[in-house]
Structure 1
Amino acid sequence: MANEWLKKVRWDENGLVPVIAQEASSGDVVMFAWMNRDALARTVETGEAVYWSRSRKKLWHKGEESGHIQKVLEMRVDCDEDVVLLKIEQVGGIACHTGRHSCFYQKFDGAEWQAVDPVLQDPETIYTNAKKPA
């Protein structure tokens, strides 16, 4: 069978697996998302990250609205086979729907969370659809 490799992944009770997107060139973790079997298979087929949007309950090709696709250079699974790591090239340098390089732009300073990374592009100018991706 063509997708026997999908059986190696330990899917949760909802048929999902957590996915970390790491920029290959910098090592920055730019995003966390979820995939189902179809999303992981499409990611392999296309060479671009395809996630499962839990809020929209549908496949979500990263960058489908913004153009900020993630080219997948390498894919790994952790030792428990229940987390996937994508080493990616982030097209346009923006992974976050807030217009920042990474979704992990807030740092705890001991008392509160502070935004420490700049907005690279106003989100209102990024998306062609009024509904922002989750």
Structure 2
Amino acid sequence: MLWIKAAHVIFVIFLMAGLFMMPRFFVYHHQAPVGSEEDAKWIEREDRLRRIILNPSLAIVWILGLMLAFNGGYWGESWFIAKLLLVIALSGYHGWMIGYFKQLQQGKRPLSEKQLRLLNEVPGVAAAIIVILAIVRP
């Protein structure tokens, strides 16, 4: 159980790094003219981050987290339900980022750099609350 928990935390760290990096990449990507060489480089960087860090980490975090939840019998605990809802929301945020990446690939830029900077705060706030729920278990 401790090895599973350790692996879960490690992959949560990887996932959070990706969730912090991708919106930052989007801000810099917005500064590149559509169709330029720099635009193509940002698309490649974002795609690598998605393929190598974000998607695998998210899958592993879910698998290990569910293993912990089943083995720990947390399903009836209110702190766990709140944590699970936040994890689902973060997973949705991940999905939104992948969708936004696809829009950038098509040359669309529906959000401003300021909006992207604000959205960059979402994973930090969610992570702080998730950690409090998992450790303090209020």
**Structure with more contact order per residue of length (Cα contacts < 8 Å, sep ≥ 6):** 2
Question: Greater CA radius of gyration, 1 or 2?
Answer: 2
Q: Same fold (TM over 0.5)?
A: no
Q: Higher strand share goes to which structure?
A: 1
TM-score norm. by structure 2 comes to 0.21
TM-score norm. by structure 1 comes to 0.22
